[in-house]
Structure 1
Amino acid sequence: MLKKILLGTLLLYVVYVLGGIGLIATGAIDKLYFLPGWSVKGPKSDKSGFAADGPLVFYQDSLLISSRIAPRGGSLVLLTDTLRPGAATLVTCFADETSQEFQVPLRSENQVPADTYAEPEKLLAVSDIEGNFKGFQALLRGAGVVNDKLNWQFGRGHLVLVGDFFDRGLNVTECLWLIYKLEQEAEQAGGKVHFILGNHERMNMTEHFKYVRRKYRVNADTLGVPYNQWYTRSTVLGRWLRTKNVVEKIGTTLFVHGGIGPEVVMQKLPLTKLNDLARISLDKPVAALTALEKQVTQPPSSPDWYRGLAQQEASAAHVAQLMQLYTASRVVIGHTPVEHISTLYDGKVVAIDLPHQEHTAAGRPVQALWLEKGQLTIIDSQGQKSPLK
C-alpha cells in the first residue's frame, strides 16, 4: 500500500514538473517551484507587472462592459463602466509610456475590408511594432499621419500596418485602440488604415501566449478576466481583429506579414479566397482544419509565417510566379528582422521588420517605408527621408 502511495506521489510530481516546464516554455508562468524555496525561472526574466491598461470592452447582451486600469491621484485604480452601444459611445485609453490619454468612439459593426485598392498619392507602411506605443506614435507624428492629439491628419493617404502589433512590448492594448480609432478618422477623411494580420495576432487569438509579457497576466488578475478571453468574439477588439486580411494589394504592391511561399502560390488562390480561409480558421481547432486551411494558416507555409523571401531561400522563379499570379510589381514584408529596410530580388521584395523597440529605448528614430507618387523611400519619426537601397 505504501509503495503504491509513493509511486502515485512520484507520478504526480513528475506530471507537475513536466507541466511546469511546459508553462515556462510558453511564457504562461515565470518560475516553477521544485521544492519549497527551490525554483527555476524562465529563460528571460520579465520584470513587468501591474500597470495602466485597457480598456477591455465586452459584449453582454445588449450592453457593453468596459474595464480598465487607469491612473488616478498618483495611483492606479480599476474603473468599470456599463455602456449602451451607439454613435456617441466613447472609451478612454491611457498610454503609460507617453502619459497620453485619448478617447475612442466605438462602432456598431465591423466590415470586412477589401483586399485590393488603387495606389494613393502617399502611403506609410510599418510592421512589427510589438506593443511599442512610444515609438509607434512618434513615427506617426513624424510622418505627418497624426497630430499631437493623435488625431488623423493624413488626408487621403494610406497607413499600412504589416502585422505583429502584439507581444514583447508593454502597450499592446493602447496600440490596438489607436489603430481602431484612426481607422474611423481615416475613412471620414477619404484615407485608409490597413491592418494586416501577422503571426502574433493569430497567436493571441488562438491561445498561444509564449511572448505575452508578465504585465498582461498580472493585469488580467486585477481586471478579473483571464488573458485568453481578451480577444475572443465576445470582445470589441476581438470581433474587429477577426475582420482583417492577411494579404492586401495596393496599386501593384502586395503587403503581407511573412510572405507567400511556393506551396501557397501553387494553389493559385484569389486574394479574397486566401483571406477568407485565414479568417475562418481563427476559431477552428487545428485538428479541424482542412489540408488547404492548414497550408494557408499554419507555419511554416502560411503568409503570416513564411520566411523564404526575407531569408532569400525562395528562387527568383518563385518570386516571378508570385508577381504574375497577383499582377504585382513588388511585395512588402515584415516578420523577419532586418537591420535596415532592404530591397531583395532586384527590388521585387522589400523587408521592413526593424528593431523598433531597441531604437526607441536607445532614443534613436523609428523608421518605416514611405511611398509617394510611386516612389519608395524611408522616413523616420523625425520626418527625415532617406533613399531606399
Structure 2
Amino acid sequence: MAMKTIPFLLIILIPLFAMPQQPVDGPYVFEKGDSLQVFTIMQQGDQSLADRKMAPRLSAVDQALEVMVPVDRNAGFQVKLRARNAVPSDIYAAPSRLFIVSDIEGEFLPAKRLLMAAGVMDEQYNWIFGNGHLVIAGDLFDRGSEVLPWLWLLYSLEEKAMAAGGQVHVILGNHDIMQLSGDYRYTDARYFKHAWLMGRSIRAVFDESSILGRWLRTKNVVEKIGDLLVLHAGVSPKLLSTGMTVTDINNQCKRYYGLSRRDIPDSSQFLFDNRSPFWYRGYFMEPKQPMALVDSTLQWFNCKRIVVGHTVMDSISSLYDGKVIGVDVNHHEGKHEGLLIEANGIFVVDAAGGKRPL
C-alpha cells in the first residue's frame, strides 16, 4: 500500500520543486561574529522561505560587498555595504536645491516615481541631483509593505549624493522611533512572518547587529538646513522652554533610541511623548500654537521657516503666514508630493512631474 503512494507523492512534489524562487523582500544583513548573514525572503509558489548567505564581516580597509535589493519580485538594484556609517551633522549651509518629502511609510514605488519626477534620481537609481540635498522628514516605516527597498535606496543614495557634492538627510519620525523601540502597532503583517522565517524576533530585525539598524541609529530627529528648521512633527512649548539647541535635542534623543517608553527617565519623557519633536501636532490640531510661539521658535533656532511632516494634509501647504510648511500627504491613498526649494522659489512637485508654486 505504501509503495503505491510514492508515485502519487512524486507527482505532487515535482511541480513544487520545479517552481522558480522569486525574491520578494530584503536583504536583511546582520553581523554575527566574524561574518555577515545576508537573508533574502523568497517566494516559491505559495510558500515563503528565507535564503541565507554568509559573507566575511566588513572591514574599514577597501572591502566592498554588494547586495541585491528586490523590487517587483525580479527587477531590483545593487547596494554597496559600508563598514562604517558617517555620523551626520545637524546644521548645514543652504544648498542650491532642496527636495523634502515625508511619511513614505513603505510606499516604495510611488516614492521612486516622486524622486524621479523631482530630478533627484533616474530610473536606474542613480543620483542626478548634483549638489542638491534630499531630505526625508521622517516615517520611513510602517503601514506599507515596501519598507526594505526604501531604506536601502536611501542608504545607497547617501553615498552617491556625497560623491556628487550633494547630501541625503534622513530625519527620524515617530514610526521610525517606534520600530527601534519595539512598538509594532502599525507594522505590516508580512514583516512578522519574515522575521520568523529568519529565526529572529521582530525586535531583532533592526537591532544593533543589523546593518540598517545601526545606520538608523546615527540619524537625527531635527536639523537646521540654511534658514529652515526641519523635523518630523514640530517644536512644542515644552521643548522650546528647555532652551535646548538642535544638537542638544539630537544628542539627548539618540541616548534612548531602542528603549521602550517605560525605560526612559521621567526627565526625558517630553522628548518621546506628544510633546516630542516627532509626535507633536500643535501646528495643525487644537489647541494650536499661537503665532507668537512660532515666532519665538524661529528666533531661538535662528530660522525663517519650519518644515514638518507627521500630520496628513490634502496637499503640501504653508501655515502661519508661510512660517510653517506641512509636507505630509497621504501616500497610501495615491497623493504623492514633495517640496522643492530653489533659488527662484518654493514649489510643490508631484509624482507625475507637475510643479506649482507653494
Residue of structure 1 in register with 2:100 after alignment: 125
Residue of structure 1 in register with 2:71 after alignment: 95
1:295 positional shift: 1.2
Cα separation, 2, equivalents of 1:55 and 1:370: 31
Match of 2:100, SS? strand
Q: Tell me if structure 1 keeps the 8 A contact 2:177–2:258.
A: no
Match of 1:128, SS? coil
Q: Tell me if structure 2 keeps the 8 A contact 1:369–1:378.
A: yes
Q: TM-score, normalised by structure 2?
A: 0.88
1:221 positional shift: 2.1
Residue of structure 1 in register with 2:17 after alignment: none
Which stretch shows the higher mean deviation, 327-336 or 310-319? 310-319
Match of 1:239, SS? helix
Residue of structure 2 in register with 1:310 after alignment: 284
Cα separation, 1, equivalents of 2:129 and 2:75: 20
Residue of structure 2 in register with 1:81 after alignment: 53
> Alpha carbons of 1:247 and 1:208: their partners in 2 closer, same or farther (altered >3 Å)?
same
Q: How does 1:18-37 map to 2 (within 5 A)?
A: none
Cα separation, 1, equivalents of 2:253 and 2:23: 33
Q: Tell me if structure 2 keeps the 8 A contact 1:68–1:223.
A: no
1:380 positional shift: 1.3
Q: Deviations over 1:269-299 (max 9, x none)?
A: 0111100111111134434433342111x22
Match of 1:245, SS? coil
Match of 2:207, SS? coil
Residue of structure 1 in register with 2:264 after alignment: 289
Q: Deviations over 1:313-363 (max 9, x none)?
A: 01111101100110000000000100011110000000011011211xxxx
Residue of structure 1 in register with 2:40 after alignment: 68
Residue of structure 2 in register with 1:254 after alignment: 229
Gaps of 5+ in 1: 1-49, 360-364
**What is the identity, as a one-letter code, of the residue corresponding to 1:88?**
A
**Is 2:345 aligned against 1:379?**
no
Cα separation, 2, equivalents of 1:241 and 1:82: 23
**What is the identity, as a one-letter code, of the residue corresponding to 1:160?**
V
1:226 positional shift: 2.0
Give the number of aligned pairs: 332
1:304 positional shift: 0.3
**What is the identity, as a one-letter code, of the residue corresponding to 2:40?**
R
Q: Tell me if structure 2 keeps the 8 A contact 1:158–1:193.
A: yes
Q: Tell me if structure 1 keeps the 8 A contact 2:137–2:231.
A: yes
Q: TM-score, normalised by structure 1?
A: 0.82
Q: Tell me if structure 1 keeps the 8 A contact 2:315–2:329.
A: yes
Q: Tell me if structure 2 keeps the 8 A contact 1:159–1:194.
A: yes
Match of 2:68, SS? strand
Aligned partner (choices 320, 331, 340) of residue 306 of structure 2: 331
**What is the identity, as a one-letter code, of the residue corresponding to 2:159?**
Q
Match of 1:52, SS? strand
Q: Tell me if structure 1 keeps the 8 A contact 2:94–2:227.
A: yes
Residue of structure 2 in register with 1:156 after alignment: 131
Aligned partner (choices 311, 336, 355) of residue 366 of structure 1: 336
Structure 1 runs of 4+ off > 4 angstroms? 71-77
1:224 positional shift: 2.0
Cα separation, 2, equivalents of 1:175 and 1:113: 19
Gaps of 5+ in 2: 1-21
**What is the identity, as a one-letter code, of the residue corresponding to 1:316?**
M
Q: Deviations over 1:37-81 (max 9, x none)?
A: xxxxxxxxxxxxx98111111111122111011468998653211
**Is 2:15 aligned against 1:54?**
no
Identity %: 38
Cα separation, 1, equivalents of 2:140 and 2:108: 9
1:230 positional shift: 0.8
Aligned partner (choices 179, 187, 198) of residue 162 of structure 2: 187
**What is the identity, as a one-letter code, of the residue corresponding to 1:207?**
G
Residue of structure 2 in register with 1:202 after alignment: 177
**What is the identity, as a one-letter code, of the residue corresponding to 2:72?**
D
1:198 positional shift: 0.2
> Alpha carbons of 1:108 and 1:370: their partners in 2 closer, same or farther (altered >3 Å)?
same
